[in-house]
Amino acid sequence: MDIGFIGLGNMGFPMARRLIEAGHKLVVFDTRKDVVEKLVARGARAATSPKDVADQVETVMASLPSLQASLEVAAGANGVVEGKRAKRFVDLSTVGSAMAARIHGLLAERNIVQIDCPVSGGVGGAEKGTLAVMVSGPKAEFELLKPALDVIGKVFFIGEKPGAAQTMKLANNFLSATAIVATSEAVVMGVKAGLDPAVMIDVINAGSGMNTASRDKFPRSVLPRTFDFGFATGLMVKDVRLALEEMKQLGLSMEVADAVGRLWETVISAEGAESDFTAAIKPIEKKAGVVVGGKGGLAGK
């Protein structure tokens, strides 16, 4: 396929690279010239704006960091909505169902189909093509896109309702957000009592407490204290806020979600939006007076 790709960040770049390697012809745009040039060197064509991308191809994909970025790229001035050729806009970003529905309506005025397509699996999944790819939109459009989406991960059709895939993504990321802070609290408890955190993680991963944080994040980024898993705290907080907002819109009372939301607000306040989300353990450690991991294995007060 001829595909446009807008947004070449930590997730977008490896997804675009995989599409090129699979034989798709890409037209790419990002505000940073260096990442565009890297894909041009691999065979992509550079565009000057989202509109320029949409002038050249029928299928435009985007991987963007915020709701406002998705809205502006899709329907803003010089956006995809003004393109001459675009027929479908595939949003790989996490924007929530309300924003997805809004973009859907704006693009429909120009006969451009909005395809919700958020992904999960982190930078590692994007690099290896093992992401969970959640899709909502017209079934015929899904069938058309599936061969390309198969390149970036395992594809799931969620439904035809605009925003349905966004709801699925928020449910998934709420669980991911819960896993990292809950595991942090559990391990901090053990370290405060004198347990070795590395042994704790081994036991948890061999038992019923195993989760994505204990399996992946702690061994790679928390215990070594590198905090470099590749997903920003600001993005995780955005997703948690969106999940809470959607829960409230559905009339739900979610006690665990509310507690998780409060914890993540503490994390972003203490560590900043640009920190890696595995740094969520730091304010929990600080309150307990312990440090988990590092060269000494564990440290007390």
Instruction: Kindly list the structural domains of the chain, giving each domain's residue range(s) and its CATH number in brackets, ordered by start.
Output: 2-161 (3.40.50.720), 167-288 (1.10.1040.10)
Decide if 227 contacts 278 (C-beta within 8 A): yes
| pLDDT surpasses 70 at 299 | no
Query: For the chain, what percent of residues have pLDDT higher than 70?
Result: 98
Residue type, 283: P
Decide if 266 contacts 200 (C-beta within 8 A): no
**Distances from the Cα of 277 to the Cαs of 31, 122, 177, 213, 230, in angstroms?**
24, 12, 9, 11, 8
**What is the pLDDT, as a whole number, of residue 253?**
87
Mean pLDDT of 93-103: 96
SS3 content of the chain, % helix, strand, coil (to 5): 55, 15, 30
pLDDT tens-place string over residues 81-94 = 999 999 999 999 99
169 is catalytic: yes
- Strand, helix or coil for residue 121: coil
Report the C-alpha dihedral over residues 46, 51, 57, 60, rounded to 10 degrees. Answer: 90
pLDDT tens-place string over residues 225-281 = 999 998 999 999 999 999 999 999 999 989 999 999 999 999 999 999 999 999 999
**Annotated catalytic residue, options 51, 169, 238, 282:** 169
**Distances from the Cα of 119 to the Cαs of 35, 212, 218, 289, in angstroms?**
21, 16, 22, 37
**What is the pLDDT, as a whole number, of residue 294?**
72
| CA 44 – CA 25 distance, rounded (Å) | 7
Of the pLDDT bands very low, low, confident and very high (cuts 50, 70, 90), residue 301 is very low
Decide if 92 contacts 61 (C-beta within 8 A): yes
